[in-house]
Amino acid sequence: MSDAKTPADVVAMMKSEGVQMVDLRFMDFPGIWQHFSVPAREIDEDAFAEGLGFDGSSIRGWQAINESDMLVKPVAESAFIDPFMAAKTLVMTCNIADPITGEDYTRDPRNIARKAEAYLQSSGVGDIVYFGPEAEFFIFDDIRFDQNEHEGYYFLDSIEGRWNSGKAENPNLGYKPRYKEGYFPVPPTDSLQDIRSEIVLLMESIGIQVEAQHHEVATGGQCEIDMRFAPLVQMADNLLKYKYIAKNVARRHNKTVTYMPKPVWNDNGSGMHVHMSIWKGGKNLFFGDQYAGLSETAMYAIGGLLKHAPAVLALTNPTTNSYKRLVPGFEAPVNLAYSSRNRSAAVRIPMYSKSEKAKRFEFRCPDPSGNAYLGFSAMLMAAIDGIQNKIDPGEPLDKDIYDLPPEELAKVPTTPGSLGEALAALEADHDFLLKGDVFTKDVIETWIDYKMENEVKELALRPHPWEFALYYDI
């Protein structure tokens, strides 16, 4: 774990730890951590203010080739020693700046998150927002996929997969979780306990506090690790470190991790329920005497989040695969309503958290496939809009959704049915994101264009294997 807080601290730590390489990391537009490395001698105290140059033209969604030069500016307090590299390597998260103007780059996702935190303060609504995501993932033993002009397929496998219960494994020892019954039997049915513990201990070693780890509902190696809540930018940083550690620990064990929302058909997908609370003057603004122990402010925040949810989902659920998870029947929150107990509602108020410090609500729609800087920022901006405009969230959905008569169910709005629908909602409803210049019109337009051209349209062009089962004999 790094205790470095200033550039001087980092430089001193590099010397005391015998650091050989410095890895500089930043987030591309869609949500993949990027990096390049320099010898340790290249990093002195001036590098933190002046930055280091790189070509931004090949980063997805960023600069054109004729304006490609960019700067990375390391963030001192983000420094940690990489637990995987053979050479002693110090990692730092970086902000991105324009080398001509020196200004923060508007398409840098981390910059957008920093602006969201600043807008919360300047708005007077609150001082700090805390996020606590519960990111689920699968650990597989094999993954193969391809699509070309004459074939298209994927193949995944897990020693835990129920589909292997009849496989000759010489010997097959059984104990494979049934579909939808992986939550949560002890080992040997849960075969991934040691791997998850290894991930957790490495996360703790670099300063990330973990609250719990466990097997998840689906067969085939679905897992969850829950981090202790943190402010917006810090939590988005932590989520990237979490993914990095999980993937590399799995690789050590000749396994592979995916945060894809719905890799296994006909079983539960991987969500990322996000807990959220806004504080001011050391007080939790969401604690009160209204529904489920929430305050009026929290109710308005829920109202804003539900009102803007279709647009927000274009950022919190930003893949075509995301909407294969958001379907009825798999514990997915497809109903744009709130409840203290109903897990099919988009917003849930956990009832085991009754104290002021713990009071919060949980947005259950998001999944871990996206860019957390953008997703968390969108959630915050929707909540602030609800608070500022006193948006009433309506009545809670405390009834069993499966017992509702059709005429009552029809009145409950639902999540978008596809990424294309969510992007259309974002195009129609994004003024709340532009407040405080947090998101810019350029960012919104670039996001929609990138997703439509590179994902929605590309998927629509390709035949699907199930189409052959449906239509080949026509």
- Catalytic residue (choose from 325, 360, 364, 430): 364
Q: Please confirm, yes or no, whether 136 is among the known catalytic residues.
A: yes
- Catalytic residue (choose from 55, 67, 445, 449): 55
C-alpha span between 51 and 233 (Å, rounded): 20
Q: Please confirm, yes or no, whether 362 is among the known catalytic residues.
A: yes
SS (H, E, C) the chain: CCCCCCHHHHHHHHHHHCCCEEEEEEECCCCCEEEEEEEHHHCCHHHHHHCEEEECCCCCCCCCHHHCEEEEEECHHHCEECCCCCCCEEEEEEEEECCCCCCECCCCHHHHHHHHHHHHHHHCCCCEEEEEEEEEEEEECEEEEEECCCCEEEEEECCCCHHHCCCCCCCCCCCCCCCCCCCCCCCCCCCCHHHHHHHHHHHHHCCCCEEEEEECCCCCCEEEEEECCEEHHHHHHHHHHHHHHHHHHHHHCCCEEECCCCCCCCCCCCCEEEEEEEEECCEECCECCCHHHECHHHHHHHHHHHHHHHHHHHHHCCCCCHHHHCCCCCCCCCEEEEECCCCCEEEECCCCCCCCCCCCEEECCCCCCCCHHHHHHHHHHHHHHHHHCCCCCCCCCCCCHHHCCHHHHCCCCECCCCHHHHHHHHHHCCHHHHHHHCCCHHHHHHHHHHHHHHHHHHHHHCCCHHHHHHHCCC
Q: Please confirm, yes or no, whether 430 is among the known catalytic residues.
A: no
Q: Please confirm, yes or no, whether 224 is among the known catalytic residues.
A: yes
Query: What b/e sequence results for 315-335 when a residue is b if at least 16 CB atoms lie within 10 Å of its CB, and e otherwise?
Result: bbbbbbbbbbbbeeebebbbb
- Catalytic residue (choose from 28, 160, 216, 455): 216
- Catalytic residue (choose from 110, 273, 275, 360): 273
- Catalytic residue (choose from 362, 367, 385, 455): 362
The tokens for 306 are: 């539900």
- Catalytic residue (choose from 178, 228, 343, 464): 343
Q: Which amino acid is at 338?
A: Y
- Catalytic residue (choose from 82, 108, 117, 136): 136
Q: Please confirm, yes or no, whether 343 is among the known catalytic residues.
A: yes
User: What is the maximum alpha-carbon separation in the chain?
Assistant: 72
C-alpha span between 69 and 388 (Å, rounded): 39
Q: Please confirm, yes or no, whether 395 is among the known catalytic residues.
A: no
- Catalytic residue (choose from 108, 117, 134, 141): 134
C-alpha span between 312 and 438 (Å, rounded): 14
Q: Please confirm, yes or no, whether 160 is among the known catalytic residues.
A: no
Q: Please confirm, yes or no, whether 178 is among the known catalytic residues.
A: no
- Catalytic residue positions, numbered: 55, 134, 136, 216, 224, 273, 343, 362, 364
